[in-house]
DNA sequence: GTATAGTATATGGGGTGACA
DNA sequence: TGTCACCCCATATACTATAC
C-alpha cells in the first residue's frame, strides 16, 4: 500500500491502475483517509478502519465537493469515533433518523386538523372493509355518514328544495392547525354551537374527542398535541348534556278538547291519533299495523317493536277496538290511505296540528302522544313495569333486566282501566259492546 | 290539501373496559 | 360484582320543501 502525504496536486495526479476497476491511495498523515480512483477517473475520499475485527469503509465524498483539508478533518473525526468503539455508520443513521423526526415534527406542527381528520376517516373506512373485524369495533355506514355530515363545509345546494346545506359543527375546528387546539378554543367552539344546536354540538364534541384520542396514539400527531385538551373538566361543563324533551305532552285538562278535535278528523287519521294516545306506541309501530296484527276475538294487538325483535303483544282495549273495527279495509294496513304509494298513512301530523290549533291546544308531536300515555298512566296508578311493557320500553332497571313478562290478561286489566279513565276525562260516553266487555279473558 | 322525500336533530340501546 | 363513562351506532322525531 502506497502511503504519501496527500496534497491537492498529488490527489489530482492519482490514476486508476490499468486493468483494475478502482485503485486506492492512502494518506500518510491521517490514518484511515484514502482516495478511491475508478477506471472512469472518478475520485472520492474514503475513510477505512477496523472496528470489532471488521473493516468499516465509509465514503466521505468526491474531491470536487470536499477540499483536502475538510476531508482530512472528517477522517480524523471518524477515527476518533472508531477509537471510542462507535460505529460511525450507526451514528449517521441515528442522526438521519433524528433529522427526519425533526422534519416530521415540523410538518406535524404545521398540520391542519383537517389533514388528521381525513386520515382518521380513511383509517376508519379501511377498517370498515375488513369484515372479520366484529361489528361494534368497526364503524357502520351510518356512523361514517354522521362524521361526514358534521364535518361538511356546507353551502352545497340541497338535493331537494331550495337553499344550501348548513355547515357541520366540526367544520370550524378542521380549519385550525393541530397545535392551535386547546381547551379554550374547544370551549368557545362548544359555547357558540350550543346556542343554536345543542345536541349537534354534543355529538360533534364526542366525535372530536374520539378523533383526538386516536390522534394521540399516532406517532405523527401524538408528539405535537395535548392529549388532555378534550378531557378538561371546564370544557366538559360547556358541552350540552342530553336532555329529554319537556312539555311535549298533553295534560289531563287537555283531553276533552283534544279528543273533540281529533274525532272530527277523517276516520283513519282520527283512529290513528287516538290509538297512539291510548297505547303509547311509537308512530311507525302504529302506522305499520296490519289487520293480521289485530286479534278482535282475543283483544290483542301485535306491535312490531323497535326494541324487541320479536315484537310485543298489547291489549286491545274496548274503545280502541271499536275505532279500529269501524275502519275501511282497503288493504293490509289498518291505517290505510287511498293516495299514498305504500297504501298507508304517511303524514298524520298535519291534520293533527290542525286539530290542535282548532282546539286551542299547545303544539304536541306524535311522540308527545306517547309521552302523554306514560305521564297520564300515573293518574290510574298503573305500575311502571306495566306501562313499560305496553309501550315497549327496554327494561332498564336492574330488577327489570330479566324482564318480568307479565301475562296479557294482567296488562289488559290495567290498560282497560286506563282507557276508561281517559274516556271519562275526555267526556266521551262509550258503552262497550258485549265483545268489548270481554276484553279481559 | 295531502303525500312524499330530503336534511337536520334528538334519544338512547348495548358492548366494553376502568375502577371502586 | 356493580357502577359508570365512553364509544359506536340505530333509529327515532323535527323541520322543510316539492310533487301531485
Lowest mean pLDDT among A123-137, A173-187, A255-269, A396-410: A396-410
Q: Is the Cβ atom of A166 within 7 Å of strand B at any atom?
A: yes
Q: Write down the pLDDT at residue A396.
A: 39
**Interatomic CA–C1' length for residue A241 and nucleotide B9, angstroms:** 14
Q: Write down the pLDDT at residue A159.
A: 56
Distance (Å, rounded) from C-alpha A138 to C-alpha A129? Answer: 9
Residues A194/A196/A199/A205 CA torsion (nearest 10 deg): -40
Confidence band for A95, pLDDT divided at 50, 70 and 90: low
Considering only CA atoms, name the residue closest to the C1' of nucleotide B3. A340
Q: Could you give the angle at the alpha carbon of A372 between the alpha carbons of A368 and A374, nearest 5°?
A: 120
pLDDT score of A53 more than 70 = no
Q: Which of A138, A282, A344, A352 is catalytic?
A: A282
Q: Is the Cβ atom of A241 within 7 Å of strand C at any atom?
A: no
Q: Is the Cβ atom of A136 within 7 Å of strand C at any atom?
A: yes
| Three-state DSSP class for residue A50 | strand
Q: Is the Cβ atom of A136 within 7 Å of strand B at any atom?
A: yes
pLDDT score of A294 more than 80 = yes
* Closest of A372, A387, A392 to residue A417, by C-alpha: A387
* Closest of A23, A5, A22 to residue A69, by C-alpha: A5
Q: Starting at the edge strand that comes first in sequence, how are the strands of the sheet with A300-303 ordered?
A: A294-295, A300-303, A312-315
Q: Is the Cβ atom of A393 within 7 Å of strand C at any atom?
A: no
pLDDT score of A389 more than 70 = yes
pLDDT digits (tens, 9 = 90+) for A319-344: 999 988 888 787 777 887 766 656 67
**Interatomic CA–C1' length for residue A209 and nucleotide B17, angstroms:** 17
Contact yes or no for A207/A170 (Cβ under 8 A) = yes
Q: Write down the pLDDT at residue A76.
A: 79
Residue A68 vs residue A424, higher pLDDT: A424
The verdict on whether A272 is a catalytic residue reads no
Confidence band for A420, pLDDT divided at 50, 70 and 90: very high
A214 DSSP 8-state letter: H
Residue A317 vs residue A139, higher pLDDT: A317
**Interatomic CA–C1' length for residue A143 and nucleotide B17, angstroms:** 22
A333 DSSP 8-state letter: B
pLDDT score of A201 more than 60 = yes
Confidence band for A318, pLDDT divided at 50, 70 and 90: very high
Domain A252-426: which CATH number of 1.10.443.10, 3.30.360.10, 3.40.50.300, 3.20.20.450:
1.10.443.10
Residues of chain A within CATH 1.10.443.10 domain(s) are 252-426
pLDDT score of A368 more than 80 = no
Q: Cβ–Cβ contacts within 10 Å for residue A62, how many?
A: 13
pLDDT score of A355 more than 60 = yes
pLDDT digits (tens, 9 = 90+) for A150-189: 777 766 656 544 456 677 788 888 888 888 888 788 888 8
Q: What is the mean pLDDT of residues A108-132?
A: 75
Q: Which of A36, A43, A370, A371 is catalytic?
A: A370
Residues of chain A within CATH 3.30.160.390 domain(s) are 3-86
The bases of strand B with some atom under 7 A from any protein CB are: 2-16
Q: What is the mean pLDDT of residues A267-292?
A: 81
* Closest of A168, A174, A171, A167 to residue A116, by C-alpha: A174
The fold adopted by the segment(s) A3-86 is: Double Stranded RNA Binding Domain (3.30.160)
Q: Write down the pLDDT at residue A439.
A: 36
* Closest of A213, A255, A194, A177 to residue A418, by C-alpha: A255
The percentage of chain A sitting over the pLDDT mark of 70, rounded to a whole number, equals: 69
Distance (Å, rounded) from C-alpha A11 to C-alpha A399? Answer: 93
C-alpha cell at A179: 397545535
Residue A19 vs residue A298, higher pLDDT: A298
Q: Is the Cβ atom of A159 within 7 Å of strand B at any atom?
A: yes
Q: Cβ–Cβ contacts within 10 Å for residue A253, how many?
A: 8
**Interatomic CA–C1' length for residue A140 and nucleotide C10, angstroms:** 10
Output the average pLDDT for chain A: 73
The verdict on whether A406 is a catalytic residue reads no
Considering only CA atoms, name the residue closest to the C1' of nucleotide B5. A160
Q: Write down the pLDDT at residue A401.
A: 36
**Interatomic CA–C1' length for residue A355 and nucleotide B1, angstroms:** 15
Query: What residues are paired with A70 via a beta bridge?
Result: none
Q: Is the Cβ atom of A283 within 7 Å of strand C at any atom?
A: yes
Q: Which nucleotide is nearest to A236 (CA to C1')?
A: C5
Amino acid at each position: 500500500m502506497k502511503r504519501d502525504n496527500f496534497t491537492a496536486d498529488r490527489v489530482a495526479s492519482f490514476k486508476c491502475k490499468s486493468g483494475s476497476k478502482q485503485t486506492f491511495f492512502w494518506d500518510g498523515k491521517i490514518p484511515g483517509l484514502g482516495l478511491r480512483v475508478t477506471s472512469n477517473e472518478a475520485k472520492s475520499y474514503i475513510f477505512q478502519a477496523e472496528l470489532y475485527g471488521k473493516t468499516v469503509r465509509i465514503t466521505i465524498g468526491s474531491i470536487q465537493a470536499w477540499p483536502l483539508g475538510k476531508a482530512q478533518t472528517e477522517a480524523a473525526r471518524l477515527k476518533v469515533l472508531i477509537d471510542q468503539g462507535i460505529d460511525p455508520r450507526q451514528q449517521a443513521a441515528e442522526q438521519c433518523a433524528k433529522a427526519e423526526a425533526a422534519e416530521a415534527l415540523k410538518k406535524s406542527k404545521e398540520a391542519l386538523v383537517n389533514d388528521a381528520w381525513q386520515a382518521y376517516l380513511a383509517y376508519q373506512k379501511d377498517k370498515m372493509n375488513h369484515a372479520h373485524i366484529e361489528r361494534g369495533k368497526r364503524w357502520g355506514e351510518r356512523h361514517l355518514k354522521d362524521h361526514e355530515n358534521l364535518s361538511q363545509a356546507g353551502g352545497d345546494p340541497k338535493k331537494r328544495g331550495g337553499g344550501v346545506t348548513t355547515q357541520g359543527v366540526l367544520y370550524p375546528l378542521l380549519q385550525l392547525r393541530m397545535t392551535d387546539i386547546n381547551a379554550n378554543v374547544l370551549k368557545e367552539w362548544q359555547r357558540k354551537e350550543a346556542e343554536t344546536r345543542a345536541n349537534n354540538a354534543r355529538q360533534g364534541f364526542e366525535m372530536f374527542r374520539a378523533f383526538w384520542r386516536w390522534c394521540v396514539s399516532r406517532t405523527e400527531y401524538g408528539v405535537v398535541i395535548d392529549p388532555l385538551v378534550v378531557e378538561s373538566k371546564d370544557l366538559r361543563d360547556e358541552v350540552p348534556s342530553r336532555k329529554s324533551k319537556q312539555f311535549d305532552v298533553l295534560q289531563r285538562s287537555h283531553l276533552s278538547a283534544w279528543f273533540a278535535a281529533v274525532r272530527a278528523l277523517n276516520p283513519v287519521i282520527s283512529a290513528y291519533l287516538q290509538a297512539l294516545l291510548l297505547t303509547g306506541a311509537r308512530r311507525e309501530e302504529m302506522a305499520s299495523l296490519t289487520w293480521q296484527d289485530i286479534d278482535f276475538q282475543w283483544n290483542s294487538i301485535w306491535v312490531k317493536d323497535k326494541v324487541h325483535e320479536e315484537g310485543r303483544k298489547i291489549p286491545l282495549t274496548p274503545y280502541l277496538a271499536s275505532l279500529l273495527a269501524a275502519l275501511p279495509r282497503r288493504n293490509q294496513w289498518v291505517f290505510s290511505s287511498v293516495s299514498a304509494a305504500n297504501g298507508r298513512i304517511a303524514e298524520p301530523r298535519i291534520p293533527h296540528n290542525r286539530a290542535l290549533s282548532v282546539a286551542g291546544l299547545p303544539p304536541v308531536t306524535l311522540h308527545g302522544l306517547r309521552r302523554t300515555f306514560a305521564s297520564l298512566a300515573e293518574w290510574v296508578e298503573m305500575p311502571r313495569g306495566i306501562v313499560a311493557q305496553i309501550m315497549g320500553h327496554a327494561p332498564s332497571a336492574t330488577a327489570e333486566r330479566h324482564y318480568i313478562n307479565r301475562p296479557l290478561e294482567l296488562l289488559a286489566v290495567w290498560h282497560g282501566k286506563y282507557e276508561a279513565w281517559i274516556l271519562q276525562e275526555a267526556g266521551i260516553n262509550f258503552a262497550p259492546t258485549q265483545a268489548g266487555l270481554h276484553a279481559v279473558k
